[in-house]
Structure 1
Amino acid sequence: MAQNEKEQALRIFVWIVPRVNSTAFLKCMSCVDDTAVWMEPYMTTHLNKTLFNPEYKKDDQNAQRYRASMEKTMQRPETLAMMKESLAMADEFSNITDQATFTDSWVKKQLETEDPGKKFIFIKDQSFAIFDQLDSLPEGVPTRHVFLIRHPKEVYTSWKNVATTLADPSNPIPWDECHAANDAFLIPVSEFYQTHHNLWKHVKEHLDPDAVIIDGHDLTSNPDVVLRKLFENLGIPYKPSYLEWSGDPQSVYSSWRGSNFVVFVCSNTVNISRAVNCSKFDPPKHPRGVANPKWKVTDELKEYIESAMPLYEEMFANRLM
């Protein structure tokens, strides 16, 4: 254990694949006593390498189509107003940093820096955003790792619903014309679970043999039971009051650490705003493994789901119960 590690805040990484109820989870964690939260700092650096890097896949037709659609979106008056407001947030709130500042090395330094008055620091992030640069994880500080999972059929159908509006929210791509991966060129969609599983194995072997797995369906079905067990595992005092929190999005803007683009702009999209405005965990609308009946399982989804199932099932068998 590093010198004075007992006096340092515990960094708790919450690794995710998309669409596992992680934003609501982070909002819950932000109301825990003596806690700070980060909103996907490594994903933010990934966006600087991809979305905001004109050289990234510049000859790829899917990328060209995405960027053309996004350019139209960015020129709309309502989008320009939102971007202007997001830039002002970096000056107004000390927890918000300009998007361009984020690099893997900068994030590592921030997560290694002590935070007076904080006992726990939660960092929610995408597994694929860190897996190829694990040397960017903080060193010399106490850490724990939590993995959120959800049935692949629910993950992938929900993700495709996101992909239909990812580049242009006002002009959704028809479901049968949208491709869950090709219309989201920034993200390795087909590898969601393979990377998540690989990271879990690496963490257990090298970083945290007691890494915790939480299933999103369990969490939203029985949040009191799951959170009590999680907090006991992590050494965090539990309070039933943590099951409800402010629905005001200002509580997010003034407390979540991250970039102005991710914390403000992304949180105002149709796909994330519901979680940002939530005040509790809503129970699932369908049984585990049952997707929204409006979301047909298309050919690419079928392929991704079948590939992910063995990986999910192994992690599910090792989940917190």
Structure 2
Amino acid sequence: MSMSNGTSHKNPVRVLLWSLPRSLSTVLLKCLSQLGETQIINEPYITAYHMGPDRVQSTDQKKAKQSAENLAMFLEAARKMEAALPKSFDHRKCTYNWVKTELEAEYSNTKLVFCKDMAYSVHDKYNSIPDGYRHTFLIRHPHRVFLSWKKMLGKMIPQKFNLHELPASDFPAKYGFEELYDLVEYMRNNGEPDPIIIDADDLQNQPGSILSQYLQDVGVTSDNIEDLLQWEPGTAVVTNWKASRMFMLGNMTKDHGGFYEAAMKSTKFNPTGDLPTRDELSDDILKCVDHSMPFYEKLHAMRIKP
């Protein structure tokens, strides 16, 4: 699908989408991969946070050792993905400074550089945020986010756990929404007073309206927004993504989380189902919800409306 933005290839439009897990960010990335002359960059900061040399280490020495052993075990499998993912990179060089440099690099023959990442990965590291990007944000109702997040983490953590008690190496210290809100406020005070915020429920229920407004706001004009609303199932789209091989391996492998499984099977934005009620949420999820709801509501009030 063609796309025009009125800029030269030497100065592409650069957009960063900040979100938190289980917010349809990968589905949106798959959708936008259909834009022509676009370089997709997938979660380099969260790779640095969880896997790179600057990663957040568990204070539990036994757990930290096990984590290091797991990374080493998957290294060979990730190396085998190199041919299938020619633009991918090795997580071992993924420091915060390296990510910033990569995002600020020149991208020839490209009209749009689009990166999506998780806001909690740069909390207290705002000096690593790249120059030259328009910063945008994706939110989703906390009931949906935390219910799904715990389910996915449960595939990787064998023992019973409380979501709000997980260490920062596994789960953000402020549960994700507060970090996202803090980043929005930082941007509002540093050159972007009018944040561009999408709510995932709006995106699912009225994708044409939301996508049209979003692309216009970031300076991208699509020939036909309807052409973006359908895509092929499967993983072929990731071939041109710039991402960590190790991170893609974990997210696309069902036995190790499979965070991207539903996104890769998707072919469109499906309408939302019923919102889970408080009675359907465990006590630990409710603790995360109750902490996060005030931040979500403030962000929701600033969102793009259908």
TM-score range, shorter-chain basis? Answer: 0.7 to 0.9
Aligned counterpart, 1:57: 58
Aligned counterpart, 1:93: 85
C-alpha distance 51-58 of structure 1, shift in aligned 2 (>3 A): farther
Does the alignment pair 1:132 with 2:115?
no
Does the alignment pair 1:274 with 2:255?
no
Q: Is the 8 A contact 2:54 2:96 kept in 1?
A: no
Q: Is the 8 A contact 1:70 1:167 kept in 2?
A: no
**CA distance in structure 2 between the aligned counterparts of 1:12 and 1:219, rounded to whole angstroms:** 18
C-alpha distance 266-67 of structure 1, shift in aligned 2 (>3 A): farther
Where in structure 2 are the equivalents of 1:202-241 lying within 5 Å?
202-238=186-222, 239=224, 240-241=226-227
Aligned counterpart, 1:15: 18
Deviation per CA, 1:135-159: give whole Å up to 9, x if none: 11223x3x21111111111111111
In the TM superposition, residue 51 of structure 1 has moved relative to its aligned partner by 10
Q: Is the 8 A contact 1:229 1:320 kept in 2?
A: yes
* 2:154 counterpart (158, 164, 189): 164
Query: Any stretches of 5+ residues in structure 2 without a counterpart?
Result: 1-6
C-alpha distance 220-305 of structure 1, shift in aligned 2 (>3 A): same
- Taking structure 2 as the reference length, the TM-score comes to 0.85
In the TM superposition, residue 68 of structure 1 has moved relative to its aligned partner by 5.1
Q: Is the 8 A contact 2:188 2:194 kept in 1?
A: yes
Deviation per CA, 1:91-111: give whole Å up to 9, x if none: 553311111121111111111
In the TM superposition, residue 84 of structure 1 has moved relative to its aligned partner by 3.3
Aligned counterpart, 1:110: 102
Q: Secondary structure at the match of 1:247?
A: coil
Query: Any stretches of 5+ residues in structure 1 without a counterpart?
Result: none
Aligned counterpart, 2:185: 201
* 2:49 counterpart (11, 30, 46): 46
- Number of equivalent positions: 293
% identical aligned pairs: 25
Give the alignment's Cα RMSD to 1 decimal: 2.8
Q: Is the 8 A contact 2:52 2:92 kept in 1?
A: no
Where in structure 2 are the equivalents of 1:163-182 lying within 5 Å?
163-167=153-157, 173=159, 177-182=160-165
**CA distance in structure 1 between the aligned counterparts of 2:101 and 2:175, rounded to whole angstroms:** 28
C-alpha distance 291-251 of structure 1, shift in aligned 2 (>3 A): same
**CA distance in structure 2 between the aligned counterparts of 1:189 and 1:284, rounded to whole angstroms:** 28
In the TM superposition, residue 113 of structure 1 has moved relative to its aligned partner by 0.8
Does the alignment pair 1:37 with 2:23?
no
Q: Is the 8 A contact 1:99 1:259 kept in 2?
A: yes
Q: Secondary structure at the match of 2:106?
A: coil
Counterpart amino acid of 2:242? R
